[in-house]
A and B are shown apart, each in its own frame.
Chain A
Amino acid sequence: EVQLAESGGGVVRPGGSLRLSCAASGFTFDDYGMSWVRQAPGKGLEWVSDINWNGGNIGYADSVKGRFTISRDNAKNSLYLQMNSLRAEDTALYHCARSAGYSNNWNLDYWGQGTLVTVSS
């Protein structure tokens, strides 16, 4: 059974940093691309970042480019999101999701429950 478990969320002040993690299990992690998708309270889904199977191809939404960094450790079956220079508008539930294929040019097919990030002074 595919499982994705996010952690690392919390309350942080504007301008602060946070590192999110996603532990994957139930599938061969390095066969798949991975994504982060966020959802602000009461709002819809917003794509944040994609990474392909080996980290060689990465994409970011314009809203986070230059502030967030996605990475993965295939030996640890883990996905990460380093978030710097956080703003109030980054407040959201952050979901880890699996791409249906090895690259980023596939739909997402499994989702984690999410970890909540709150940016507030």
Chain B
Amino acid sequence: QPVVTQSSSASASLRSSVKLTCTLSSGHSSYIIAWHQQQPGKAPRYLMKLEGSGSYDKGSGVPDRFSGSSSGADRYLTVSNLQSEDEADYYCETWDSNTRVFGGGTRLTVL
């Protein structure tokens, strides 16, 4: 089954940009992933589905500041013009037949 790996933390300044990475395990580099955001004390929120081609499809109401891209086994989430409300945990998700996997999450701090 696939494994997805994320850095545990990231930080960037207000109004700057940050790029978070989710890396798929060997043999699973073509898999589609999804990004989810979890603000402190809240339920997760779906941000986007991201394919290996770099094509992405965002959830309802997700701001234009959020975008996705891909390179090989890496899937990226870029947040531009960082706002204070972007401070959250970000999880990537992938799936296979009857299995679903989450990365450990990246805690994003907005300085």
Contacts and interface: CB of A to CB of B under 8 A. Distances in A.
Q: Is the interface of A mostly helix, strand, loop or mixed?
A: strand
Nearest to A1: B60
A114 to B, nearest CB: 6
A113 interface: yes
Q: Is the interface of B mostly helix, strand, loop or mixed?
A: strand
B45 A111 contact: yes
Contact of B95 (A45, A97, A107, A113): A107
B79 interface: no
B93 A95 contact: no
Contacts of B98: 50, 57-59, 104
Contacts, number: 65
B52 interface: no
Contacts of A105: 95, 97
A99 to B, nearest CB: 9
Interface size on A, as a range, is 20 to 34
Contact of A110 (B32, B46, B99, B101): B46
Nearest to B100: A47
Contacts of B75: none
Given A45-B91, A45-B105, A112 B43 contact: yes
B100 A104 contact: yes
B95 A104 contact: yes
A109 B102 CA distance: 14
15 contacts: A35-B100, A37-B100, A44-B103, A45-B36, A45-B44, A47-B99, A47-B101, A59-B97, A59-B99, A100-B49, A104-B98, A107-B46, A108-B34, A108-B100, A111-B45
Interface of B: 32-34, 36, 38, 43-46, 49, 59, 89, 91, 93, 95, 97-105
